[in-house]
Structure 1
Amino acid sequence: MAWRDEGILLSARKHGETSAIIEVFTPAHGRHAGVVRGGTSRRIAPVLQPGAQLDLSWRARLEDHIGSFTVEPVRSRAAAAMGTRLTLAGLNAVTGLLSFCLPDREPHPALYARTEALLDLLGEEDLWPLAYLRWELGLLEEMGYGLDLTRCAVTGTQEDLVYVSPKSGRAVSRAGAGDWADRMLPLPEVLRGLGAAPDTEIAQGLQTTGYFFDAHLAQNLGQKPLPEARQRFVAAFSRRL
């Protein structure tokens, strides 16, 4: 069994004396792990940094074996990621959530394209938080937990939508929420693609998407805790408000 693809490196860890086990996200083969022989060498180790774009060749005797990779660098994102604490935290949040959410070896080409575009914005701190929030919305949708923010789940109106139902993920108007308002999640305009997207609204949006990752997606995956990397990014972003 063999294939060739391009992919984003999610993680790498030492295996034995000289090898590494890497996990990558590819458009045609999804999240996929494999062994890189000599992965700890001076030549290859600097290439195996999270977020790196790699040309990958995978080979195994049987399809369900872990197999081995040969890798060639396409684009490094290490310099951009190390620019500030926020960008490094953002990169780690992306790779951590992908490792957490994606089923093994299941292709998600549209999500891959969105992820590549997001990572290419690393270092653009004015653009990154909003792009990241939109990426989280896309990730929830890809995993089957997309939010419906077009009209009120109670009244059907498209006006004065200020809440999200924590149960259904649908928008709720101020009037529709009634006495249940204190149990709703915030729906800032930025989540609906409206307004100027100030940092305060992005922070509210991350609160809402985080709830659905934690209370819905993680529960469906066996009550696994969300990667700490996401919380570190949210905390780093909140400190700049």
Structure 2
Amino acid sequence: MPALVTSAIVCALRSHGEHGAIARLLTPDHGLMAGYVRGGRSRAIRPVLLPGNAVKAEFRARTEDQLAGLTVEMAHSRAPLLAEPLAAAAIDWACALTAAALPEGTPYPALYQALDGVLGAVEAAPAARGWAVALIRYELLMLAELGFGLDLTRCAATGGGEDLAFVSPRSAAAVSRAAAMGYEDRLLPLPPFLIEGGSGEWAEILDGLRLTGFFLERSVLTERRADVLAARERLVDRLKRAVA
């Protein structure tokens, strides 16, 4: 098989053998791909394979069923962000979600662009107000791309599109303030920025994370709940402490 050379974002890394590692990268045209990196745990290569880094990747495999050999060159390092607790937690979660949720070999060009945008936002503004909304929108896009999208365009009860303020955990559809009256405690708050665009206040950002987190845990991360969601819990905990 011919080699595949592509740009990619490093999403996950695990040790394999004494010196090697298996890396999982998100590519623009081929989706999530895994490859064996010889010497991947070495002092020279390990910094290149940090989650969030942009790389030039070359995959080589004799057959489609064989795990490809992978070589990587750094295109853009985001390692300096790992010294910032909130930024590091955001990168850790966004990449862990991508690696855990997506099937290998299925193209998701919109997710590649969105993940690159989230990482760029974290890099441009390490303060969480500058990237938290982008992260929530990435999680919503992930749900939609995997077939679990939320309907935030109209009220599930009335069919109208006015004053949407909640989401039904059962139907994953929006509910207007009037239709929700008396049932608010059974519904998930819908942050205004997901309808109107723009940024959000801290309380709205936390509501947004609660909203997407509920559906990710229920529909996407069912088999790897404990280990993957731990990264999200660290992020949310750090956000709460930052705004307390």
Report if aligned partners of 2:100, 2:224 keep a CA contact under 8 Å in 1: no
Post-superposition Cα deviations, 1:67-125, rounded to whole Å, max 9, x if no partner, equal 2001111000110232x211010001101111121012211011101111111122412
Determine the structure 2 residue equivalent to 1:95: 95
Q: Does 1:231 align with 2:201?
A: no
Which residues of 2 match residues 166-185 of structure 1 at below 5 A? Answer: 166-185=169-188
Aligned sequence identity (%) = 42
Partner residue of 1:199 out of 202, 215, 231 = 202
Determine the structure 1 residue equivalent to 2:220: 217
Q: Which whole-Å CA distance do the structure 1 matches of 2:52 and 2:237 have between them?
A: 21
Determine the structure 1 residue equivalent to 2:111: 111
Post-superposition Cα deviations, 1:202-225, rounded to whole Å, max 9, x if no partner, equal 100110111111122234xx4744
Report if aligned partners of 1:190, 1:205 keep a CA contact under 8 Å in 2: no
Determine the structure 2 residue equivalent to 1:154: 157
Q: Which whole-Å CA distance do the structure 2 matches of 1:71 and 1:217 have between them?
A: 29
Determine the structure 1 residue equivalent to 2:64: 63
State the 1:41 CA deviation.
Answer: 2.6
Q: Which whole-Å CA distance do the structure 2 matches of 1:182 and 1:41 have between them?
A: 52
SS in 2 for 1:177: coil
Q: Does 1:48 align with 2:43?
A: no
Structure 2: unaligned runs, 5 residues or longer: none
Normalised by the size of structure 2, how large is the TM-score? 0.91
Normalised by the size of structure 1, how large is the TM-score? 0.92
Report if aligned partners of 1:100, 1:227 keep a CA contact under 8 Å in 2: no
**One-letter amino acid of the structure 2 residue matched with residue 104 of structure 1:** E
State the 1:174 CA deviation.
Answer: 2.1
SS in 1 for 2:153: coil
Which residues of 2 match residues 15-30 of structure 1 at below 5 A? Answer: 15-30=16-31
**One-letter amino acid of the structure 1 residue matched with residue 175 of structure 2:** V
Report if aligned partners of 1:162, 1:186 keep a CA contact under 8 Å in 2: yes
Report if aligned partners of 1:20, 1:39 keep a CA contact under 8 Å in 2: yes
**One-letter amino acid of the structure 2 residue matched with residue 237 of structure 1:** L
Q: Which whole-Å CA distance do the structure 2 matches of 1:159 and 1:46 have between them?
A: 49
Determine the structure 2 residue equivalent to 1:80: 81
SS in 1 for 2:56: strand
**One-letter amino acid of the structure 1 residue matched with residue 121 of structure 2:** L
State the 1:199 CA deviation.
Answer: 1.2
Report if aligned partners of 1:23, 1:33 keep a CA contact under 8 Å in 2: yes
CA RMSD of aligned residues (A): 1.7
SS in 2 for 1:150: strand
State the 1:227 CA deviation.
Answer: 2.5
Report if aligned partners of 2:133, 2:199 keep a CA contact under 8 Å in 1: no
State the 1:151 CA deviation.
Answer: 1.6
Query: Does the C-alpha gap of structure 1 residues 196 and 97 become closer, same or farther in structure 2, counting only changes over 3 Å?
Result: closer
